C-alpha cells in the first residue's frame, strides 16, 4: 500500500510541476502534456520518468500555427527496448489525437510522413533512456535515420540548440544532465551539413508543393533551421526566431538591403502563422537559405577575432 501511495504522490507531483511550468503554453499543448503524463504512467510507470523537457518554439513562448510541442522524455535504464518502442507507437496516436501530426492519406502524404519520421521534423515526442542521452547517441535520441544522422544532420548544433532552448518541466532527482551554460565551439563541418540538409529540404519542398500545398511547411522548416544553425554557430545560443531574424537584418550593410531582408523575414514569420502560397517568397528562399549560412560563417570569424 505504501508503494501505491508513493506512486500516487509522485504522479501528483509531476502534474503539479507541469501545470506550474506550462502557463505560457496554449490549451492544445497543455492537453497534450496531460495525456502524455497519463500515457507514461500507464505504459511505463511514473516512477521510471527521469526528465520531461520542453524545447523549441513552445519553450520560447512564441509558437506559430505550424509549431509542434517538442517533448524530450528521458526514462530509467531499466525499461526494455520493446517497452520504449511500444510507448513511441502510442505517442504517435496521441499526436494524431491532438493534431500535432497528419493522418497519412494518399501516396504523397505517406512519403511526407515517412520523411518526417526519418528526419525528426514535426514530431512532438522524443523518448530515450538515460544511458542513450548520456552517450549522446543522436540518431537514437531523436529516433531518426542513422545514415541521415551521420551524413547530413548538424548533430552538435541541434543538440546544443535543444539544450539552450529547453525548459525542464520535471526531473526526478538532483541528477544534472542539461548544462545550459556549457561553452560550445561548433566545427565548420556542422555548417556544411546544415547547408546541404536545408538546401535539399528547400528543393524537395518546391518539388512537392504542386502535389501537396502543405509542403510549404518544409520550406519554412528549412529557413527556421538555417537561422537556428547559423545563429548557434555565431553566438552559441538559441533565441526566438524573431530575435534571430533581427540579428540577421542588422548584419546587412545598408538601409535598402535591411529593408528587403526585413520584408523577407516578416513574410517568413507571417507564413509560419498562416501557411499559404507565396511564390515570390518561395523562390527568394533558394537564395536566402544559402545566404543565411554564408553570413553565419562570415560573422563567426568577425565575432571571434
Answer yes or no: is 183 within a domain.
no
Answer yes or no: is 124 within a domain.
yes
| 200 shares a domain with 72 | no
Each residue of 42-91: pLDDT tens digit? 888 877 888 888 887 766 656 666 667 788 999 988 888 888 889 988 99
Answer yes or no: is 74 within a domain.
yes
99 close to 28: Cβ distance less than 8 angstroms: yes
Query: At 67, phi and psi to the nearest 5?
Result: -70, 140
For the residues 120-128, what does the mean pLDDT come to? 79
In this structure, the strands spanning 49-55 and 167-171 are antiparallel
| 210 shares a domain with 164 | no
Considering all CA atoms of the chain, what is the largest pairwise distance in Å, rounded to the nearest integer?
72
Q: Comparing 21-30, 36-45, 197-206, which segment has the lowest mean pLDDT?
A: 21-30
Determine which helix (DSSP H) or strand (DSSP E) holds 292, and give its type and residue range. helix 279-303
For the residues 142-154, what does the mean pLDDT come to? 85
| 261 shares a domain with 119 | no
Answer yes or no: is 78 within a domain.
yes
164 close to 55: Cβ distance less than 8 angstroms: no
For the residues 238-255, what does the mean pLDDT come to? 91
User: Closest Cα partner for 229 from 197, 183, 270, 276?
Assistant: 197
State the total domains in the chain: 2
| 111 shares a domain with 40 | yes
Mind giving me the DSSP string for 228-256? HHHHHHHHS----HHHHHHHHHHTSSSHH
Residues 6+ apart with CB under 8 A from 289: 195, 198, 199, 202, 222, 223, 226
- As a whole number of angstroms, the distance between CA 130 and CA 77 comes to 6
- As a whole number of angstroms, the distance between CA 187 and CA 202 comes to 23
Each residue of 290-301: pLDDT tens digit? 999 999 999 887
Q: Classify the phi-psi angles of 133: left when phi > 0, otherwise alpha if psi is within -120 to 50, otherwise beta.
A: alpha
Answer yes or no: is 256 within a domain.
yes
C-alpha cell at position 268: 517568413
Domain boundary among 144, 171, 198: 171
Residue with more model confidence, 186 or 58: 186
| 202 shares a domain with 166 | no
| 220 shares a domain with 192 | yes
- The domain in which residue 167 lies consists of 2-171
| 153 shares a domain with 22 | yes
What is the share, in percent, of the chain residues with pLDDT greater than 70? Answer: 84
| 166 shares a domain with 37 | yes
Strand order in the sheet with 70-75: 125-129, 70-75, 49-55, 167-171
- As a whole number of angstroms, the distance between CA 45 and CA 35 comes to 14
| 64 shares a domain with 122 | yes
| 197 shares a domain with 139 | no
Amino acid at each position: 500500500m505504501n508503494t501505491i501511495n508513493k506512486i500516487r504522490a509522485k504522479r501528483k507531483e509531476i502534474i503539479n510541476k507541469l501545470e506550474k511550468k506550462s502557463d505560457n503554453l496554449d490549451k492544445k499543448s497543455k492537453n497534450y502534456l496531460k495525456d502524455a503524463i497519463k500515457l507514461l504512467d500507464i505504459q511505463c510507470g511514473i516512477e521510471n520518468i527521469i526528465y520531461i523537457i520542453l524545447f523549441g518554439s513552445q519553450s520560447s513562448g512564441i509558437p506559430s500555427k505550424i509549431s509542434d510541442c517538442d517533448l524530450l522524455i528521458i526514462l530509467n535504464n531499466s525499461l526494455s527496448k520493446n517497452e520504449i518502442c511500444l510507448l513511441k507507437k502510442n505517442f504517435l496516436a496521441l499526436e494524431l489525437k491532438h493534431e500535432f501530426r497528419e493522418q497519412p492519406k494518399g501516396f504523397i502524404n505517406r512519403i511526407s510522413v515517412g520523411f518526417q519520421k526519418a528526419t525528426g521534423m514535426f514530431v512532438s515526442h522524443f523518448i530515450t533512456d538515460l544511458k542513450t542521452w548520456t552517450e549522446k547517441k543522436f540518431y537514437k535520441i531523436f529516433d531518426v535515420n542513422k545514415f541521415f544522422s551521420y551524413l547530413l544532420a548538424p548533430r552538435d548544433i541541434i543538440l546544443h540548440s535543444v539544450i539552450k532552448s529547453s525548459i525542464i518541466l520535471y526531473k526526478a532527482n538532483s541528477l544534472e544532465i542539461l548544462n545550459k551554460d556549457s561553452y560550445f565551439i561548433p566545427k565548420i563541418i556542422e555548417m556544411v551539413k546544415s547547408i546541404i540538409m536545408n538546401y535539399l529540404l528547400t528543393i524537395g519542398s518546391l518539388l512537392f508543393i504542386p502535389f501537396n500545398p502543405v509542403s510549404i511547411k518544409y520550406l519554412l522548416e528549412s529557413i527556421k533551421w538555417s537561422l537556428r544553425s547559423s545563429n548557434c554557430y555565431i553566438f552559441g545560443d538559441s533565441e526566438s526566431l524573431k530575435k534571430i531574424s533581427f540579428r540577421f537584418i542588422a548584419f546587412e550593410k545598408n538601409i535598402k538591403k535591411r529593408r528587403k531582408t526585413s520584408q523577407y523575414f516578416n513574410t517568413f514569420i507571417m507564413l509560419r502563422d498562416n501557411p499559404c502560397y507565396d511564390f515570390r517568397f518561395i523562390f527568394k528562399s533558394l537564395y536566402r537559405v544559402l545566404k543565411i549560412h554564408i553570413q553565419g560563417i562570415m560573422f563567426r570569424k568577425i565575432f571571434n577575432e
